[in-house]
């Protein structure tokens, strides 16, 4: 299995290097083939390892790569650790990434920088693989920062687009805030345990329960401090409340990037880290309570915003933020296996929703505002059925007594049940916030479906499409964008037909190419079957998780015994959300307008994302700019320039100019000056 693991991890890196360095010299097709082939190879090799852990035929293994650091008391090697937890992540990362690579063949077909794009995708995947196979905290941090770098490159891929550059910088800066906490957590862990080896730390963690340490002048519990610092890192990477503001703006990158970031890679890193270090967190009750509270608050907060957004990708982005909240409050109540199960199922249906949204955007000439959609289910039927499956999965359609349901039914309902079963004040608060978020999730998910696929076509109202009907993109300015998702692009699968006047302004959306539809089909199977097939192993098989996470067998037994109203609560609110969305956007379309008119303040508050961006701008951004201006004007101009280039340096410059005027360059002039000087010296001596 060692060779197999090495291929899985390093095939994406090798493909990224070849495509990145070869770039246009290789050409689009060769670069895409190498990177996509490398990812499919990794995905194919990952599934036997995962299935082997499910069947019990595989055991945890560590594959050494090279000797890395030997410095005093600190020493560690670069090694790849593969256990059940890692096997789950390998399947999720490589499967979704391989499908995103294939999907990008069609979606990025017109982009002139395809080799660079595919190289970034593969580099992103390699960084995430390094993170999940880490055998020590330093190696985990290497992968942690690697996905941060790759996300910056991918979000800002269209670097001529100012909003994409701003979004990339925002993602990078916000994650640096979280990473500071993560670094302090790693430093503190090494200080306490005198090692960075994850197995050694987890083995020694229970003995540290109840110990205290001086931190910021206070005597605090050691494990609580360490776990809180580590969780701050998870908050940044997984976009939890407070450090979430970068995630919606990440939509500025191409849609395949959104699917990869939101489904399988960067945002799940924090959940994985908490589950990997679960024996540490189990010794830190205060830290676990914080994880549960932040997760539940994020779950509810993001769901409220999703109900008001018009951009199809932003709705799904806030949905990701909300679903990550579910995962964290599951971990916060001690159900790490349940959290990982939702991470697993979420990867399939969230990637499906993003790639489905990309197919809609592709068909609608890169229009992302749902107000200009409508009636698309007949124009793009395959995309419609795929997104319907994803919507049923995220809203959790399923019936407990029949034992059937879509992916979200098995994992999200399990989170609600285990939160209720835990029985503490915090876990019950998380349960009710989770139920409310499930209601809102159903509402905004069906709102998206109704606005997009039902009702009358509203394409004629879109300035993007009207502009596209009268613009030849082959003559577009190179700096605006034949490469951006805006009205100046003209996709080959959404060709207007001016001969037909059917109320659509001559515009007829067409289905996406086969390279985009195949990934949708595969992910649809995952959204439908992933929960049904794998629920017994993830939820009830303690042997599957043995040695990889902390598994609370008693809590799982209590979870299965909760009252029936708890088991059916998610289904009830799902139906209520569906009914509310149908009433508001199909039966009585004037209802949303009336609600906004009646509660304008509430709508503005939610629509403006609870004013977090404005708050941070006032507290952090403006003072930072003010401070920068002071350093510039008082420091650079007022001090350095005044006494440097404009001070001493200016005096030297003026002196050299005066001296230079005395230099004629003629030998007889210099001889005369020397003679006059000699006469003056002799005269001085004689007198």
Same domain, 246 and 220: yes
Is residue 486 in some structural domain? no
Among 581, 565, 569, 546, which residue's Cα sits nearest to residue 444? 581
Same domain, 531 and 675: no
Sign of CA dihedral 636, 642, 646, 650: negative
Query: Which residues have C-beta within 8 Å of that of residue 364, sequence separation ≥ 6?
Result: 372, 373, 376, 459, 462, 465, 494, 509
Same domain, 525 and 581: yes
- Look at residue 233 in the predicted model and tell me its pLDDT: 93
Count of domains forming the chain: 2
Contact 559/421 with Cβ under 8 angstroms? yes
Same domain, 209 and 328: yes
Is residue 494 in some structural domain? no
Contact 196/74 with Cβ under 8 angstroms? yes
Same domain, 164 and 235: yes
Contact 249/318 with Cβ under 8 angstroms? no
pLDDT beneath 50: ranges in the chain: 472-502
Final residue before a domain boundary, out of 571, 598, 625:
598
Final residue before a domain boundary, out of 567, 598, 629:
598
Same domain, 591 and 668: no
Is residue 607 in some structural domain? no
Using CA atoms in the order 328, 546, 523, 95, what is the torsion angle rounded to 10 degrees? 110
Same domain, 87 and 189: yes
Predicted confidence (pLDDT) per residue in 265-289, tens digit: 778 899 999 999 999 999 999 999 9
- Based on the number of CB atoms within 10 Å of its own CB, is 313 exposed (0-12), middle (13-18) or buried (19 or more)? buried
Same domain, 620 and 525: no
Same domain, 286 and 258: yes
Final residue before a domain boundary, out of 573, 598, 623:
598
Is residue 489 in some structural domain? no
Is residue 127 in some structural domain? yes
- Look at residue 635 in the predicted model and tell me its pLDDT: 78
Helix (H, G, I), strand (E, B) or coil at 614: helix
Residues of the domain holding 409:
2-460+511-598
Same domain, 445 and 415: yes
- Look at residue 472 in the predicted model and tell me its pLDDT: 45
> Rg of the Cα trace of the chain?
30
Among 474, 204, 468, 211, which residue's Cα sits nearest to residue 362? 468
Predicted confidence (pLDDT) per residue in 59-110, tens digit: 999 999 988 888 877 788 899 999 999 999 999 999 999 999 999 999 988 8
Same domain, 344 and 202: yes
Within 10 angstroms of residue 446's Cβ, the number of other Cβ atoms is 23
- Look at residue 27 in the predicted model and tell me its pLDDT: 87
Is residue 277 in some structural domain? yes
- Look at residue 543 in the predicted model and tell me its pLDDT: 87
Is residue 289 in some structural domain? yes
Q: What is the DSSP letter of 366?
A: T
Same domain, 640 and 575: no
Q: What is the DSSP letter of 371?
A: G
């Amino acid at each position: 299995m060692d060779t197999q693991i090495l291929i899985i991890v390093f095939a994406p890196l090798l493909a990224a290097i070849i495509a990145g360095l070869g770039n246009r010299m290789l050409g689009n097709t060769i670069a895409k083939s190498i990177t996509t082939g490398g990812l499919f190879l990794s995905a194919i090799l990952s599934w036997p390892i995962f299935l082997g852990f499910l069947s019990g035929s595989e055991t945890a293994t560590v594959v050494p790569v090279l000797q890395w650091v030997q410095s005093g008391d600190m020493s560690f090697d670069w090694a790849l650790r593969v256990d059940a937890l890692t096997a789950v992540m390998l399947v999720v990362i490589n499967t979704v990434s391989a499908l995103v690579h294939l999907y990008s063949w069609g979606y990025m077909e017109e982009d002139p920088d395809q080799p660079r794009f595919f190289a970034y995708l593969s580099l992103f995947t390699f960084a995430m693989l390094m993170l999940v196979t880490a055998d020590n905290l330093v190696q985990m941090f290497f992968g942690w920062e690697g996905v941060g770098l790759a996300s910056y490159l991918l979000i800002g891929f269209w670097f001529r687009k100012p909003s994409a550059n701003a979004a990339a910088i925002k993602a990078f800066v916000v994650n640096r805030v979280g990473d500071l906490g993560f670094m302090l957590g790693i430093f503190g862990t090494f200080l306490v345990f005198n090692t960075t080896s994850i197995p050694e730390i987890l083995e020694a963690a229970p003995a540290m329960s109840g110990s205290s340490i001086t931190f910021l002048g206070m005597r605090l519990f050691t494990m609580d401090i360490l776990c809180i610092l580590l969780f701050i890192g998870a908050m940044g990477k997984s976009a939890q409340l407070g450090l979430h503001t970068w995630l919606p703006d990440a939509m500025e990158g191409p849609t395949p990037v959104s699917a990869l970031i939101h489904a399988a890679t960067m945002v799940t890193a924090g959940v994985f880290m908490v589950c990997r270090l679960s024996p540490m967190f189990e010794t830190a009750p205060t830290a676990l309570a914080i994880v549960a509270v932040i997760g539940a608050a994020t779950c509810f907060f993001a769901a409220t915003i999703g109900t008001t957004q018009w951009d199809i990708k932003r709705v799904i982005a806030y949905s990701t933020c909300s679903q990550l909240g579910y995962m964290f409050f599951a971990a916060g109540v001690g159900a790490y296996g349940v959290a990982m199960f939702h991470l697993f199922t979420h990867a399939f249906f969230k990637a499906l929703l993003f790639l489905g949204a990309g197919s809609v955007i592709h068909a609608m000439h890169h229009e992302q505002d749902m107000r200009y959609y409508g009636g698309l289910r007949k124009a793009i039927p395959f995309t419609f059925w795929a997104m319907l499956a994803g919507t049923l999965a995220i809203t959790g359609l399923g019936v407990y007594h029949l034992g059937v349901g879509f992916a979200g039914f098995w994992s999200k309902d399990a989170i609600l049940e285990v939160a209720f079963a835990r029985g503490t004040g915090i876990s019950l608060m998380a349960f009710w916030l989770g139920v409310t978020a499930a209601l809102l999730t159903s509402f905004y998910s069906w709102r998206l479906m109704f606005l997009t696929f039902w009702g009358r076509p509203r394409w004629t109202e879109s300035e993007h499409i009207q502009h596209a009907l009268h613009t030849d993109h082959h003559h577009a300015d190179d700096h605006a964008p034949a490469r951006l998702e805006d009205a100046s692009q003209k996709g080959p699968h959404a060709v207007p037909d001016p001969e037909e006047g059917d109320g659509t302004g001559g515009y007829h959306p067409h289905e996406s190419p086969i390279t985009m539809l195949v990934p949708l089909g595969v992910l649809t199977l995952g959204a439908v079957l992933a929960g049904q097939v794998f629920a017994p192993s993830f939820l009830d098989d303690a042997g599957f998780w043995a040695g990889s996470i902390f598994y609370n067998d008693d809590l799982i037994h209590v979870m299965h015994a909760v009252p029936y109203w708890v088991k059916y609560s998610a289904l009830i609110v799902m139906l209520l959300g569906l009914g509310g969305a149908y009433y508001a956007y199909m039966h009585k379309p004037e209802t949303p307008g009336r609600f906004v008119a009646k509660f304008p303040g509430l709508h503005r508050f939610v629509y403006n994302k609870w004013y977090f961006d404005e708050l941070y701008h006032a507290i952090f951004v403006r003072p930072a700019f003010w401070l920068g201006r002071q350093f510039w004007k008082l420091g650079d101009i007022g001090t350095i320039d005044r006494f440097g280039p404009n001070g001493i340096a200016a005096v030297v410059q003026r002196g050299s100019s005066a001296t230079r005027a005395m230099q004629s360059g003629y030998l007889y002039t210099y001889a005369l000056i020397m003679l006059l000087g000699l006469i003056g010296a002799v005269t001085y001596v004689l007198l």
